[in-house]
Structure 1
Amino acid sequence: MASLTKEIASSSSSSVPFSSTDHPNHYKYEVFLSFRGEDTRHNFIDHFRSALCDKGIETFIDDKLRRGEEIPAALVKAIEESRVSIIVFSPNYASSRWCLDELVKILECRKSKGQEVRSVFYKVDPSDVRHQRGAFGKAFATLDQHKHKDSMEKWKAALTEAANLSGWPFKDGEYEAKFIKKIIGELSTQVVNPSCDLHVTEHPIGIKSFSEEVCKLLRVEENSVHMVGIWGPGGIGKTTIAKAVFNSIRHRFACSCFLAEVRSNSNDLAKLQKGLLVDILGDSTLEVSSVDQGVSFIKTRMRKQKVLIVLDDVNHSSQLQKLVPYPGCFGPGSRVLITTRDKRWLIAHQVDEVYQVKMLKDHQALNLFSLNAFKSNAPPGEYLKLSQRAVRYAQGLPLALIVLGSHLFRRSIEEWEAILDSSRREDPHIEIRDVLKISYDALGADLKGYFLDIACFFKGWHVENAKPRLDACYDLKSVNGIARLQEKALIRIDDDIIWMHDLIEEMGKDTVHQESPDELGERSRLWSEDDVNYVLTNTTGTNKVIGIQVLTSNISLNAKSFSTMKKLKYISIIPIIYYESFWRNIDYLSDELRWLEWPHCPLQCFPADFHAKKLVNLNIHRSSIITHLWEGYKSFPLLTYMNLSGCESDRIVIHQRGETR
C-alpha cells in the first residue's frame, strides 16, 4: 500500500510555535537543564535527570564547565543546540551570576530560534522570582551590585520574563517522584520531542475539518471518560484522521498511546497489551505473560491516569474487551479513540459517539488527485478531462485518488487512457481492491453471499425488491444481512435504495471473476448479457453457478442450457427475450432453486423431474406458450409467492396445500 504519511508538528496554546524550518535533527539535545548546584544537584536534579534519561530524552547537564569568569563557549553552544531549556528556580538560584547569565542566553534563544523554555519553581514562589523578593530576593541581593551593575537590570528583566512563562511549582511536602513524573509526561507529549508526533499525510486534503469534527465528539474539556469510534470503508482515511486528532490533543494528557494495526497483530493480544502498558506507564521492563494478566494490568494500573488511547483498525469485539475493557479502567478525563470498518463492534462496546467518515467532495478529490499525479494543485489543461475521469472512478475515496494519481505520475496521455480503460490487471486497480477486500474477507459465508449478490445483482435496487430474493436464497434473514453489511461500511441505504461505492462493487465482481478467470461457467454468479449468453448457448455451466440474472434482451437457449448447473438457486430473466432456434423445452432445472423469475417464459412445460422443494418464488407471468407446469403433482412446502397471470392454459391447476400440476 502506498505510503500516505509525512511528519507534522503540533504545538500547545501555552508553548512557543516552532519555526517552519525546525526539524528534529536540528538539535543535539532535547533538554538543557539550568539549575543551582548547591540547592538541587544531589537530590532533585539527580532524580530529574535519571527520569529524563529513562524516558529516552537526550539531556545536557553542566557537570564540568563552570570555570573562570565567563560562560564557556561550549555551554553557550549547548544552550543553542537544545530543543527545550528547563530552568530550575531554587532558593539560591539568583545568587549565581552563572545561572543568571545562562538564563539571559536561554531567553535570547527563545526569541531568536523559537526554542521552548519552561520553569520549575523548586521550593520558591513564582511571584518571588518575578519580583525578586522573599528568600529568592535575598539570594539575588547577595550579588555584588557594584561589580555587576551593567548586568543587574538585564538579570531582573530575565527573571521576570521567565517567571511569567508556563511552569511547574513544587512546594515543601510534595513527593518529588510524583512531581517529576508529571513533568516528564507533559514534556514527552507537549514540548520536548515533537518528532514523536505521528506521520499523518503528505497532502492533508479535508483532514483538518474531519479531525475537528472528531475532536468535538471527544469533548476533551469534560472530566468524564469518553470513547469515540471512527467508522468507514477501507481507504477512506480513518487512520489518517485518527493520527491528526492524536497529534492535536495528546499534549492535554499525562500519557498517550497510538496502537496501530490492531487487526494485523490481533493474533498476539498480549503483545498489544504490553505496547499499550509500556507507552502509558513508561516502564519498558514490564512483561505481560498472558492476555488475562494484561487485562488485569490495564484494569488496575491505569485507573488514576488521564490517558489518550487510539486503537487503530479494530476488527473484533475481543480486541476492545482486552485492550480498553470499560471506561472505569482509566482516570477522569481520559479519551479512547477507535477506528474500524465494522460499526457493530463500536455499538457492542457502547462507545459514546460514532463518527462516519465522508468521501471527499469533488473539488477536494481533484485537488488530492492532482497533487499526486502532477505535484500541483490542479491538472494541466491537456490532462483535465482524463483527470476528471479518474476522479469519477475514485468517487471521493482518498486511497484510490492517491494510488491512482501516483501511478499516473509522469505518464503520457496514451498511458493514462490505457490504465483508466483497464479494470483488472493494472497495478493501481489491484492495490485499491486489495485494501477494500479486507472487509469482504472478514465476512461469514452467508454474508459473503449477500455481499456478492448485491454487488453483482442488486446494487441500485429498492430494499423491498432485493430483500425477498435474499431471504429466499439464504438462511440468514435479509434484515440482518443488510444491517451487517451497512455496519461494515460495504453498503449504504439511501431513500430505500441499496447504494454501494463503485470501487466496492468492482471489488465484489472481481472476486467472482477471480473464482475462474478463464472459464465463465466456473463462476458463482452470471450477470452480463455476453457471459450469460455464452454459458447457456454452450452449456458450460457447472455446479459452481448459483445465480443468473439477465436484465438485457438478447440471450440464446437450448434444451441443455441448465443441465450442468446442479446448485443453481436463483434465476431472474426479466426482459422479453428473443430465443433463436429454441424448441420450447429444457431437460433440467436444479432442485436447489429458491427463486425462479421468468416472465414471458418460452417453455411449454418445466422438466418432469423438477422437484424444487426449496422453491420460494415462482413468477412466470405472461408466459402464454406454457401449456402446463409439469407432469403429475409436485409439492413445494416453502412456496410463498406464485404469479401465473397471463398464462392462459386451462391445464394449470393450483391446490391450496402447495401442490401444482
Structure 2
Amino acid sequence: MALVTYKGASSSSFIHQPKKFDVFLSFRGEDTRLGFVSHLYNALCQRGINTFIDNNLQRGEEISVGLLKVIESSEISIIVFSENYASSKWCLDELIKIVECKKKDQLVLPVFYNIDPSEIRNQKGKFGEALSKHEEKLKDYKVQSWREALFEVANISGWHYQHSCSEFEFIQGIVKEISNFKLNRTPLFVARYPVGINYRVKTILSDIESNDGHIIGIYGPGGIGKTTIAKAIFNRICNHFDGFCYLENLRERSETNAGVIELQEILLFEILKDTNLKVDNKSRGINMIKERLSFMRILLVLDDADKWIQIENLLGRCNWFASGSKIIITTRDRHLLATLRKCCSTYEVKGLDQDEALELLSMHAFQSNKPKEDYLELANSVIKYAKGLPLALVIMGADLNGRTKPQWRSAIDKYKRIPNEEVQKILEISYKGLDEIEKDIFLDIACFFKGFFKEYVMDMLNACDLHPIYGIQKLFDKCLITVDRYDRLLMHDLLQQMGRDIIRQESPQMPGERSRLWCYEDVHKVITQNTNSVIIQHNSQNVADDTELLAPLLSQNGSHTDSDAGDPSSSSSP
C-alpha cells in the first residue's frame, strides 16, 4: 500500500503545536491486544517510531479527555478492525475522534484483521449486530455518527490480514510503510539556535491563513535569514497538504539544462513518490508537472531564486495547482516577486533587533542566551558591527567561542579592517549578479555616497553616463541599498565593507593602483607621492588636486551619514 493521500481543502490552522506521537493505535483489546497489536507495537517501537498504546485494561463507559488529547497529538492513527471492534463504545468514540483529526490532516490507516472491509462498509455481520444492539440502548444520533465514521474509514485503502498470511511479514510491511512515511516527513534542519525565527514565522503564517494567494515571496539581502524562515514554515505546515517539496539553491542548480531537469524530477518524485517518472527535457518536464500535479494541494518551496525562468521551469503558471496550494519563494530580488504581484504576497525579512542579536551571538559564543558579564561590552561591539545580520552573528560567535578578551578585541579590530571570508562570500553573490555598470554604481555608493541624498548621487552618476535611474532601482531591488525617509541612499555596513574590500583587492599594497580611493590618508599619500592613480574613477574631472577641496567628500572615510544611516530597516522605494 502506498501512503499517498489526497485531502480536501482544510480549514485547520497552520499555527499548531508539534505532534507528540508518531502513531496512535486503536484496537479492541480482547481481540488483538495479546497477539497482533502487541507484536505491531513492538515492531514499530524497534524501528524508532514513537507509538502510543493504551494499556488501561479497565475502561469506563466514556473515553477519557487525556486519551482524546493523545489522539490529537499523533501524526498517524492506525485502526485495527477486528470482529468485536464495533461492540466497544470506547473504540467507536476513539474512531469518532480519529475521523475528526483526519479532517485536520492526520493520516488515518485501517488494518482489517481477519475481517472483510465490505462487512464494515455495509455494516453487516458482527459489525451490523453490534450497532443494532447499541441502537437499543442509545440515542439514534450517537449510533448514526458511529455508522458514518465506520463507513468513512472502511473506504480508506489499508492492509487486509487473513490467517493464511504470515503475521511477521504482514507487520513488517506495515512498519516499512510507516517508516517511509516518517522519513518523508522528517523535518528540515532549521538552525542550531533559531533565535527570532518563531515571531517571523508566525507573522508570515498569519498572512498565509488570511490570504487566498498561491505564492508567498520572502525577500531580503544575503545572510538575513530567508532560507531559515522558509524551512521553519515548511516544517510547520507541510502535513496540511497532499504533497510537499523543498527545492534549495535554485539559483545554482538552474544554471544548466541538466540541473533544471533534475529539479523537475525531484519535484515530481517528492510529490508523487513514483521512481519510474523520468524527464527527457525541461519543456516536457513543465508539462508533466502540470498534468500530474494540477489536481493536488501542494506545498512547494523554491529557495534562492533570482530569475523568472527558474520559477517558470517548475511552476509554469502560478494557478496550475489546486486551490489551497502554497508556493514559497525566497529571493534577494524584490523585483522578481513584482512579476507575480497578482497571485503573490510578499514579506521583507528585517535584521535582528538588539536583544535578538545579543541572544544569537551569545548562544554561539557562550552557549548561553546572554554573554558573560565581563564580555558584555565586547559582545555589543560585535553586534554593532553586524548590524542585525544573523549570518555575521553566527559566524563571528562561533569564531569567538572560547576566546580570551584580548583575542576578542583583536578579532573585532580585524573584522573592521578585513571582512570575514564566509560572510563576504555570501554577500558577494548579489554583487556578482549585477552587470558591469550596476557594479560600478554599487562600488561608487559603497566608497563615496552612502548617506548622500539620492538626487545628488543621481546627478553625479548621470554625468558619468551610468544610467543611475535604472541602476539605483536595480540595486534597491537586489536589496543592496535602501532609501530612507529623507531620500538618502543607505547601505548595510557589511555590504559597504564588502564593496570597499573589492576595491582594495585591486591592489592590496598599492592604493595608487586602485580605481577608487575614499580614505583621506590614502588620497593624501597618493597625491603627495605624485602617482598616476585615478583617484575617483568616474568623477575625476570634478575633483581638484587639492586636499582641502577633497576633504568634504572624504569626511568620515567617505560615509556622510547620521547615526541611523546604516540601519537597513528604514527603507522606502527609490
* TM-score, normalised with respect to structure 1: 0.62
What residue in structure 2 maps to residue 252 of structure 1?
A: 240
Give the letter aligned to residue 490 of structure 1.
L
Give the letter aligned to residue 78 of structure 1.
A
1:538 Cα deviation from its structure 2 partner: 2.1
What residue in structure 2 maps to residue 169 of structure 1?
A: 152
Kindly report which structure 2 residues correspond to 1:251-650, keeping only aligned pairs within 5 A, or say none.
Answer: 251-267=239-255, 268-350=259-341, 351-423=343-415, 429-475=420-466, 477-495=467-485, 496-542=487-533, 545=534, 548=536, 569-573=539-543, 577=547
Residues paired across the two proteins, number = 466
Give the letter aligned to residue 384 of structure 2.
R
Rg larger in 1 or in 2? 1
Q: Does 1:237 align with 2:228?
A: no
Retained in 1: the 8 A contact 2:15–2:236?
no
What residue in structure 1 maps to residue 42 of structure 2?
A: 77
Deviation string, structure 1 residues 417-455 (Cα, Å, up to 9, x no partner): 1110014786x7121111101110111001000100000
Gaps of 5+ in 1: 1-10, 23-29, 37-65, 108-115, 143-159, 178-183, 549-566, 580-596, 600-661
Deviation string, structure 1 residues 161-188 (Cα, Å, up to 9, x no partner): x97999992466x8899xxxxxx9xx98
Deviation string, structure 1 residues 589-633 (Cα, Å, up to 9, x no partner): xxxxxxxx999xxxxxxxxxxxxxxxxxxxxxxxxxxxxxxxxxx
After superposing the two structures, state which structure 1 stretch, 361-370 or 532-541, moved more. 532-541
1 CA distance for matches of 2:346 and 2:33? 64
2 CA distance for matches of 1:68 and 1:385? 63
2 CA distance for matches of 1:164 and 1:393? 66
What secondary structure sits across from 2:497 in the alignment? helix
Retained in 2: the 8 A contact 1:368–1:402?
yes
1:277 Cα deviation from its structure 2 partner: 1.3
2 CA distance for matches of 1:124 and 1:208? 48
After superposing the two structures, state which structure 1 stretch, 349-358 or 493-502, moved more. 349-358
1:138 Cα deviation from its structure 2 partner: 2.2
Retained in 2: the 8 A contact 1:246–1:310?
yes
Retained in 2: the 8 A contact 1:574–1:598?
no
Deviation string, structure 1 residues 492-546 (Cα, Å, up to 9, x no partner): 000201110000000000011111112212211111111112222223335xx3x
Retained in 2: the 8 A contact 1:492–1:498?
yes
Q: Which has the higher helix share?
A: 2
Retained in 1: the 8 A contact 2:195–2:360?
yes
2 CA distance for matches of 1:411 and 1:515? 33
What residue in structure 2 maps to residue 153 of structure 1?
A: none
1 CA distance for matches of 2:322 and 2:520? 62
2 CA distance for matches of 1:379 and 1:310? 36
- The 3 A distance-change label for structure 1 pair 137 and 431 is same
Give the letter aligned to residue 43 of structure 2.
A
What secondary structure sits across from 2:299 in the alignment? strand
- The 3 A distance-change label for structure 1 pair 214 and 167 is farther
- The 3 A distance-change label for structure 1 pair 316 and 139 is same
What secondary structure sits across from 1:366 in the alignment? helix
1 CA distance for matches of 2:551 and 2:190? 54
The percent identity for this pair of structures is 35
1:303 Cα deviation from its structure 2 partner: 1.1
Retained in 2: the 8 A contact 1:491–1:498?
yes
> Over aligned residue pairs, what C-alpha RMSD do you find?
4.3
What secondary structure sits across from 1:373 in the alignment? helix
Q: Does 1:196 align with 2:196?
A: no
Gaps of 5+ in 2: 1-11, 52-75, 98-105, 112-116, 134-142, 160-173, 553-574
Higher relative contact order (CA 8 A, sep 6+): 2
1 CA distance for matches of 2:318 and 2:179? 22
2 CA distance for matches of 1:312 and 1:165? 43
1:139 Cα deviation from its structure 2 partner: 6.1
What secondary structure sits across from 1:540 in the alignment? coil
Retained in 1: the 8 A contact 2:447–2:500?
yes
2 CA distance for matches of 1:95 and 1:345? 57
